[in-house]
Amino acid sequence: MRSLAGNRDDGPVTADRIEGSGRMVDTGVEPARRGPWSPVVVDAGLGVCVAAALLVAAVVGVGPAVADARPPDAGAAALALATAGAVAIRRRHPVAASAVLAAVPLLWFLGPYPGRLVALVPLIGCSTLAALRGWRWGLASAVVTALVQIVAIRVVLGDTETVGVVPDAVLLAATASSAGAAVGYHRAVLAVTRAEHARETQAREERARRLAAEERLRIARELHDVVGHTMATVSVQAGVGLHVAEQRPAQAREALAAIKTICDDGLTDVRTILGVLRADGPPGEPLAPRGGLDRLADLRDTAEATGLHVELQVDGEPRPLPAPVDLAAYRIVQEALTNVIRHAGARTVRLALTYEPSRLVVRIRDDGRAPAGSTDRGHGIAGMRERARALSGRLTAAPHPDGGFEVHAELPVPGSS
């Protein structure tokens, strides 16, 4: 159990922590209420029952006979009514209620009225004060309750009976105080448990929302890369087809066939990316986006079908890469080639892959015109940079000093030596 300091020692115990000294600290967290009745109604009902029991015990004469006792009258009814009121407010004003309940037996025996059941009334206030304020207040209440009971009974029975009364009075007060303190600690422990559970639930919900947002961002990034590359290539091929449709029908048919192939591949990729959102997808359907350096040849052929010449250079010993690194490298190359097709007006692209012991280096450089102004506009370069950053890598995209534009990515390869 955590021990956290507080500085309040009044009011109902709504604690979610307990000090090492035993004092329960109010932190404003109400214990959960069970049942259809509120504590006020329950205490009022209990007070009425206790008052009725006192009057019935007085009429019947429960316990040893009291010398010169007088039958219950308005005074006894007033004391019973005071008992009922004290029991009814014991949660909101435990100190005042305990004082009233401790005084009732003294006044009852001074009456004197018959019935010894009244001697148990102060135990209600004693246990309530211990439950709501902790064991220190409970101990003080137990001492006061025991003393008042001893004095009250001594007035009735005389000095010769006091010695036998002391152990019983002390035992009853100590038992009531201990029971009340145990109830208070139990409530505090429940409050701590509920607070911890609420915090854990909130943390799980926040984590679920964060994961959902990250997944939406990943899907959006994949869709941007796939759709952007597909549409850019289709646009170029459609332009070629329109240009040669009348003079060279065969080449126009080739352009249309290329468009169909590109669209089919793009639709497959989109269906695979969006498939993670479906719980009832066909069995065996891949749940991860297609893409990896093993499809680099297809990506190269698609780019060259638009009239772009792609020079591929591989340095180092090619080796299987972790799926996240493999996919990120493929998407970076795909987005870079898409940007070249759409914006650069280049004729040649040099693609270099360097397999180093602990990382993969990807360079894509074209011989077209470099973009004017900032290169951070749009989502393509930002998406590539995010892919590299997600793998603890880095990516730069800027005009090359010798002309054209270059994308340079360094992707760490976990587990490599």
Question: Which DSSP category does 375 fall into?
Answer: S
Dihedral in degrees, nearest 10, Cα atoms 388, 390, 391, 392: 90
pTM over 0.85: no
Residue 212 in contact with residue 223, Cβ under 8 Å? no
Residue 119 in contact with residue 150, Cβ under 8 Å? no
- Using left for φ > 0, alpha for ψ between -120 and 50, and beta otherwise, residue 67 falls in beta
User: For the chain, which ranges sit under pLDDT 70?
Assistant: 1-36, 62-68, 154-166, 215, 225-226, 228-229, 232, 236-237, 240, 242-245, 251, 269, 271-291, 370-379, 415-417
Of 335, 331, 397, nearest in space to 370 by CA: 397
Of 48, 37, 39, 9, nearest in space to 25 by CA: 9
**pLDDT reported for residue 4:** 36
**pLDDT reported for residue 278:** 55
Please give the structure tokens belonging to residue 391: 């793998």
* Phi (first) and psi of residue 355, to 5 degrees: -90, 105
Of 29, 70, 181, 52, nearest in space to 118 by CA: 52
Q: What are all long-range contacts of 134-137, with beta carbons under 8 Å and residues at least 24 apart?
A: 134/9, 134/13, 134/22, 134/23, 134/24, 134/181, 134/184, 135/22, 135/177, 135/181, 136/21, 136/22, 136/23, 137/94, 137/95
Sign of the C-alpha dihedral computed for residues 275, 276, 277 and 280 taken in this order: positive
Distance (Å) of CA 63 to CA 57, 59, 60, 285: 9, 12, 9, 84
Domain 294-417 in this protein, CATH class: alpha beta
Domain boundaries, given as residue ranges, for the chain: 39-202, 294-417
Which residues in 154-289 belong to E strands, given as ranges? none
DSSP per residue, 103-137: HHHHHHHHTT-S-SGGGGHHHHHHHHHHHHH-HHH
Neighbours of 321 (CB within 10 A): 21
**pLDDT reported for residue 373:** 55
**pLDDT reported for residue 248:** 73
**pLDDT reported for residue 229:** 64
Q: Which residues have C-beta within 8 Å of that of residue 324, sequence separation ≥ 6?
A: 390, 391
Cα R_g (the chain), whole angstroms: 42
Look at residue 201 and give its three-state secondary structure: helix
Pairing state between β 359-366 and 394-399: unpaired
**pLDDT reported for residue 64:** 59
Look at residue 309 and give its three-state secondary structure: strand
Burial class (CB in 10 A: 0-12, 13-18, 19+), 334: buried
Please give the structure tokens belonging to residue 231: 């549409």
**pLDDT reported for residue 417:** 53
Residues present in the chain in total = 417
pLDDT digits (tens, 9 = 90+) for 209-261: 887 777 677 777 777 766 766 776 777 667 767 666 677 777 677 777 777 77
Neighbours of 193 (CB within 10 A): 12
**pLDDT reported for residue 70:** 78
Residue 230 in contact with residue 212, Cβ under 8 Å? no
